[in-house]
């Protein structure tokens, strides 16, 4: 699509022109696992076996590459499979500098899987570029970031880290799941690799588990293609097809997620009734320590709001009174979710590391959906009033 500049135009039309033969305006779903070959070593159109190449997956990869302004994309069967693909680019003995507030499954993969294969990791507060620089050793091959982080929503200056990494000949990978390509494009900020759990905003409807890696570098793409073929953690064609449908509304969903999250964060920040809500973390609040960077680096502040209710008992009380918010893992879908990172998504992160980040037993991560914000705020106000009443009765007794 040569003339498409707008994100939404691209998300609907890039690599999704009407089918040449039939005129179908929706991509074809190609379920074949194998392809007729015209002779020895003569596959038709490059397709041999669906683990290696599948037309629907190839089309999805072209669509997703377009959204991140990337030359290449490899789709995987989950966000963690995408991470495993990226880790396959490295060798035993390589050192990785990683953010200290990453998705718990990423930390689990680094500490309990990759460390067995000789990779070493230093977990650093990457919000401070000087600390990133200090952690680099002659063996460092990658700086691995989430910005904003899951679940504490702290930001790293991706451009500054990428500049430092270029000087030292180190690659930078950014997990862009929390922002989606609509809000932030790390490759434009100098990163080498972008990852997504497409289970989240890209899919958006809690019905696809998937992952993707985008890059401008053909050699990286080729190695990831080899990983797709050799390891086989590729998405099923129907999931690829569903994802192409989902990204057509990504911009609309993200606008609404951001609008709702801002309203919820402002409400929670202003309504610390009885101190029930001890802390509110949202990059859109002027009080967020990296509010200025958030405005500069991305087109919006995202759909996640993290709060601290002070204790596990308060969280248990809070979730008892939720109806619109579903108490569940995951994020980035049309329905609002509440999650308890301490015992759910981040249970695999060492306790001392969690405490250092402010990830306490009172933290709740809210994934703000696209429902009417008034309904969300009313429900939160209702649930918090029970937390406040309970806290007051405990302190009175
Ligand atoms: C930021 C982030 N990255 C990666 C993942 C892993 O993705 P998946 O669950 O699709 O494997 C998650 C899952 O919650 C996540 O939140």
Average pLDDT in the 9-35 region?
95
Sequence ranges of the domains in the chain: 7-247, 250-396
The per-residue pLDDT for range 265-286, each reduced to its tens digit, is: 999 998 755 579 999 999 999 9
List the CATH code of the domain at 250-396.
3.90.1150.10
Catalytic residues: 51, 103, 175, 200
- Provide the pLDDT for residue 274: 55
Mean pLDDT of the chain: 95
Answer yes or no: is the C-beta of 78 below 6 A from any ligand 1 atom. yes
* Cβ 244 vs Cβ 63: under 8 Å: yes
* Cβ 306 vs Cβ 281: under 8 Å: yes
3-state class of 364 per DSSP? Answer: strand
The per-residue pLDDT for range 177-192, each reduced to its tens digit, is: 999 999 999 999 999 9
Nearest to 143 by CA among 98, 189, 86, 88: 98
- Bridge partners of residue 101, in order along the sequence: none
- Provide the pLDDT for residue 273: 52
Answer yes or no: is the C-beta of 80 below 6 A from any ligand 1 atom. yes
Hey, what are 337's tokens? 């979710």
Answer yes or no: is the C-beta of 369 below 6 A from any ligand 1 atom. no
Mutate to test the pocket of ligand 1, among 104, 150, 197, 233 (most ligand atoms within 8 A of CB): 197
pTM above 0.85, yes or no: yes
Res. 212: pLDDT tops 90:
yes
- Provide the pLDDT for residue 2: 61
Answer yes or no: is the C-beta of 103 below 6 A from any ligand 1 atom. yes
Average pLDDT in the 4-17 region?
92
* Cβ 140 vs Cβ 171: under 8 Å: no
Answer yes or no: is the C-beta of 177 below 6 A from any ligand 1 atom. yes
* Cβ 142 vs Cβ 172: under 8 Å: yes
* Cβ 145 vs Cβ 162: under 8 Å: no
Nearest-CA residue for ligand 1 atom 2 is 103
Ligand 1 mean position, distance from CA 336 (Å): 17
| Architecture in CATH of 7-247 | 3-Layer(aba) Sandwich (3.40)
Average pLDDT in the 36-57 region?
94
Index of the ligand 1 atom closest to the CA of residue 80: 11
Average pLDDT in the 285-291 region?
96
Nearest-CA residue for ligand 1 atom 9 is 79
The per-residue pLDDT for range 343-386, each reduced to its tens digit, is: 998 888 889 989 988 899 999 999 999 999 999 999 999 999 99
Answer yes or no: is the C-beta of 239 below 6 A from any ligand 1 atom. no
Average pLDDT in the 123-144 region?
98
Measured CA to CA, the distance from residue 267 to residue 336 in angstroms comes to 16
Measured CA to CA, the distance from residue 177 to residue 381 in angstroms comes to 28
């Amino acid at each position: 699509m040569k003339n498409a500049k707008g994100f939404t135009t691209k998300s609907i039309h890039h690599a999704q022109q009407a089918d040449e033969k039939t005129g179908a305006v929706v991509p074809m779903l190609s379920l074949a696992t194998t392809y007729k070959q015209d002779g020895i070593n003569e596959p038709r159109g490059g397709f041999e076996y669906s683990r290696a190449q599948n037309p629907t997956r190839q089309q999805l990869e072209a669509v997703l590459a377009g959204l991140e302004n990337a030359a290449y994309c490899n789709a995987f069967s989950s966000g963690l499979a995408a991470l495993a693909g990226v880790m396959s680019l490295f060798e035993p003995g390589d050192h990785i500098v990683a953010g200290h507030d990453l998705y718990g499954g990423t930390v689990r993969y680094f500490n309990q899987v990759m460390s067995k294969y000789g990779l070493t990791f230093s977990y650093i507060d990457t919000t401070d570029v000087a600390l990133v620089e200090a952690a680099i050793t002659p063996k460092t091959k990658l700086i691995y970031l989430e910005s904003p982080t899951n679940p504490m929503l702290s930001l790293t200056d991706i451009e500054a880290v990428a500049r430092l990494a270029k000087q030292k000949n180190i690659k930078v990978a950014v997990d862009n799941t929390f922002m989606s390509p609509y809000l932030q494009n790390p490759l434009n900020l100098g990163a080498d690799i972008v990852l997504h759990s497409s289970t989240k905003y890209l899919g958006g409807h809690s019905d696809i588990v998937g992952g993707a890696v985008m890059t401008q570098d053909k050699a990286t793409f080729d190695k990831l293609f080899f990983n797709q073929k050799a390891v086989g953690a590729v998405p099923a064609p129907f999931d690829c097809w569903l994802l192409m449908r989902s990204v057509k509304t990504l911009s609309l969903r993200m606008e609404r997620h951001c609008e709702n999250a801002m309203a919820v964060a402002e409400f929670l920040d202003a309504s610390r009734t009885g101190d029930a809500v001890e802390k509110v973390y949202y990059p859109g609040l002027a009080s967020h320590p990296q509010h200025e960077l958030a405005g500069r680096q991305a087109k919006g502040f995202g759909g996640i709001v993290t709060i601290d209710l002070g204790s596990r008992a308060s969280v248990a009380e809070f979730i008892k009174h939720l109806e619109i918010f579903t108490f569940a893992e995951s994020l980035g879908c049309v329905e609002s979710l509440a999650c308890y990172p301490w015992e759910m998504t981040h249970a695999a992160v060492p306790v001392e590391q969690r405490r250092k980040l402010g990830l306490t037993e009172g933290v709740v991560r809210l994934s703000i959906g696209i429902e009417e914000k008034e309904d969300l705020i009313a429900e939160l106000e209702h649930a918090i009033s029970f937390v406040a009443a309970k806290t007051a009765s405990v302190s009175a007794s």
